Structure 1
């Protein structure tokens, strides 16, 4: 039992949707962490008390800490839950706009705090690497929700470091012994900490359901494919229901109703041939009275499914033969549970869909040999259901579920191996995407300052910010992970530069300008050295800047109060006119038209196959989508054999689809496709109330 984190008794009567969503994310994260906290605490106690893994010098300290944690377990659970909620709220509060501080202010950080931060970073790093994609997607969604151009990794309030820091706080409060403080963090590692994969997946899902789409992805596009599938499933279910309901009641009663027991018993008594039992002719062979209309329809539908497999030349021949061996186990599963026809995730149906899809992919890779691990996994899955059927007269749902689980695990292992093989191009793509996101954030920050700042009227400074300082901010964003505070420093320098060229009506302002100029110029020059801007244009800019500053310093002495007010009003009017002129000059942003090509790219998932037209008379090329970047700006394709074929940007891929030089190969599940074809044929044959002959 874990103690819930305390929360204020008074709840605001009205909250904004954004605030409510953030509260929901905090509740989700704390609840999921609380569910794991007891098991995590037990694991920490066991690690502390494990004498075999300890050096002699630390043995007594660890034993004392482990025994104390075991005694104070419930207090630790309460402290950890409360600390996590407090840390999450604090991390989210840091995302709010802060009051403008004095530019270029520096503060000394205590050595103990720096050491603690370095330790937390090193402990959290393996978790950050393991869940990099989920963290990037969550950060992108949070940035969209908070109307920010970008949210850096260290600003993500749900990063593993926050959870680990809360655990350390609870540990220190629970132990009360200085010698025990450094004992916890070295114990935390993947496998002995929170399940960050599940937590991040739940947070991403909550944001997606709330309509927070990834940048550049229309909200509706993410749901188009699923909506189409739901509509298709509804049409299929309606056709199946009408097909199963066509039998006259007297005929059904004469056949023993829908009880499948006699038919299943007869099937269990049949000898199993080397090639597996075939469904063709099964109705004619069954004893009289054992096959009702429902049973006959079930047999006919499955017969059509397996006929579709046999006739599908796109599925590898060895996999087509392998699937045929599962006819009898699948029939028995469908006779026991008609959910096979109505539920896409029914274990037996899921197994057929997986086998057919993997067989199709196997046919696309000429290098796939008989020792392919996925081929062994497919053979094992079929052996699992056929062996279970031989043991109890028919494979049960558990056997199919086990086969599906094992097959999906093999697919995940293959995906992991593919991702490892593509580590170099993936790393390059991530760097490219981060660079593009940094440049976009830099341009947005400069544009915002130029639209608001009083000093933006200086043409030389405005041009400098749009060009060189945009490059500086881009570099600062890329350095932020390794050097926290780089972006803040560059932004403060930009604000200070704009302030320095704004009118200075009072003597105090001019004195402050003189005092702050050396630090400003030093920071500007350091950043310009970073981007290696060393040509004569740099000298010209600083010469113009010096003239501007000199003119401001040489301004007349203090003006009369009335004159100062008039100048302030005039400056405000000019700033408003400048903002209005900028808005008028900018072309109106029209709502983007629905582009089927863009929507098709947005709907792509890993594992999808595309066909690209050949060039210079060459044959078309089929490739597999092996990786999608977190912001969905880059796509890496492979040849299906864990080798990179090429990579494309989002807009380039959309252009290929729009021009017809690329096509997304249909991935409709085999069972759904076969049932859709069979319903029409069986309904026509059954129009007079009869059942199709064997």
Structure 2
């Protein structure tokens, strides 16, 4: 290959190219290096992102607080949403770096020579310092391992480009690759702890393969005739586990260490085996010892389990299905056919026992609805096959099979047994997942990741819909609570002014039926400390005074001054509350008659001259201000109607909410130190509970809100719809009669494994 011809042609071409156009600037050999490197880097990045969920989930599982756990979950979501942008941004930087290899921009100072101002210097922030230390450590590891291969690549690049490079400015060097990745991740809104975890993943999945990257790049340039005399050591081909395992040392709290994983897995599974060995033969049946019995291989066991799996859908009652017994029968047939006794190997037998005990706990768990236990129970064989294939099933909380089981159980938490289960979307989805596993899972665990992603997308959509309805329920309840508080304020105001008094019936009705609505509206809009509230109360006080009997001479003058403004305030208030106009007219006609009678009583008593002159002056002032005083024209005594119907307010006025037919019954009063009240106070928003309504019916619901002003506890079903509300005392009564039970929302598999380990330890010491 005529390398010189290519270089000459490139130099000639670069003088004709636009400064911004990368086309034609690189020799063919460098284009091949770039494209191969980009392809490998892309694959490595995909490996990073494919395993990021597992890592972050593992860290969330170990989180010591809700805030820390939420940070990891938010990071998982953010990383998923921005994955494509990060990949694109990273590869774009790599392509730009190659495009600039033959560009030397004259006149542009190099970064190392930039002028520095002491005014611009500042202390390095802690987060930035941690990030820098992590990057330096990553680069140092690559340099200590692959320095020779990188040095040869840099030398070969310098032989065919105009710009001179060193290892730090090599576009495939660990320094620039780390910077490109960090720049591509700049849009992630994550804490430094999460960023360090992502950098660790980048070190494992991208920088960890630099030896292969440099070897292939050098090989491509050697084939192109670029410095073939330089000899590099062959790259070490490292075995990568299909599913990574993360362990954590005490020295680096919160950061997953991706080394020594296999050892960690073996330690967990080995500890479980030790517990099984110590109880075998006492608390657990010992395997039958048959002379000359041959253990079957794990592959043979997988074939037997697949045979059983295909017939699993026919199992009607999973609680009667004994996996070990079924497997023993198949082994007996195989032994009879081959003429040699066959048994399960010790390791595989331990796996079978562990999975069987896990599902015994699951099928006995009171948190799972009975109708869904039958579905989940059919997953026993697929889960056993996964455990045989991959022992990390017992040690890794983010294992796809475990997560799938946990997600199904979490979604089923609010599910209520019902007659039309087959029509319920959640039931159908779980049934679909179970059927897919029974039909399609042979020996490739990747199906669990696929089904997990599908199921989480389904539950995510359902959760978003339920959260929206749940928020509407909370908003409505908070609005009702405000209305209830306002209603109590109005009740108090009415009872303070009316209770124990004898007043015309029409006035009592007007205040209770009409003015109470005006007071409610005023209280809700302006509050009880507002001028508007005080004005509404004053109007009510004025009305009560205006219809009460008065003997003092000054009362007539006050009544003359009071009535016009009073009537105006009453009309405006009732109009603002949209009170029925017909009823308003009827009230006012009766009110006018009351005021006429009041003036008539004053007319029977001869007024003193001073009072008469005051009345005349008031009438003159009113006429000048344009206020009409129609009540001054009083009818003759014989025209006055009979005395109005009077009523004594002896019962406390209680205002009913819309749709309420009778006042709520008062709660049973419990002492403050009652244990049941402590149980109620331990409830948290989001807690799932089960109410035993009667002998046959149970209600599962979630505490959606505690409305503090009214003391109400509002419960919703899994769709977010309100199904129940109770006061604190009423809930305590339910606890006292054992009609309410808290549902454990911890991860199902983890609870089952914890229970199995606890039981094995008890059996060991018994």
TM category (shorter chain) comes to: 0.3 to 0.5
Larger relative CO (CA 8 A, sep 6+): 1 or 2? 1
Which TM-score applies when normalising by structure 2?
0.34
Which TM-score applies when normalising by structure 1?
0.37
Q: If you compute each CA radius of gyration, which structure gives the higher value, 1 or 2?
A: 2
